[in-house]
């Protein structure tokens, strides 16, 4: 089994907003462009969820309470950050 590494880049903010930062069952992303891909990662680097072409709230009710890394592709740029559930 191959695990991917996900580094949280704190310098890539500015083209999107995520709310709420501490989520319950869903969260929203307000980008300045089209979100073409969202990936949610476990702390181990394993992809938990991958969603293409997001147009509505992202449902995470199936995830346990934890800290997750997310990778967001907006138009041609990739961004990483973390979320707390």
pTM of the model: 0.77
Do 8 and 83 form a contact (C-beta atoms < 8 A)?
no
Each residue's pLDDT tens digit, 17-63 = 888 867 789 988 888 788 899 999 998 999 999 999 888 899 999 99
Note the residue count of the chain: 85
CA-nearest of 49, 63, 60, 59 to 72 is 49
User: E strands, 24-85, where?
Assistant: 26-31, 35-41, 47-52, 58-59, 67-74, 77-84
Which pLDDT belongs to residue 14?
A: 52
Q: How far apart are CA 53 and CA 56, in angstroms?
A: 9
Q: Tell me how far the alpha carbon of residue 36 is from its chain's centroid.
A: 12
């Amino acid at each position: 089994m191959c695990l991917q590494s996900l580094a949280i880049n704190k310098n890539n903010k500015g083209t999107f907003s995520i709310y709420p930062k501490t989520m319950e069952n869903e969260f929203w992303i307000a980008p300045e462009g089209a979100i073409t891909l969202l990936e949610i990662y476990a702390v181990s680097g394993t992809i938990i969820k991958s969603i293409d072409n997001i147009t509505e709230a992202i449902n995470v009710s199936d995830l346990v309470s934890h800290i997750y890394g997310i990778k967001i592709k907006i138009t041609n740029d990739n961004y990483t950050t973390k979320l707390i559930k």
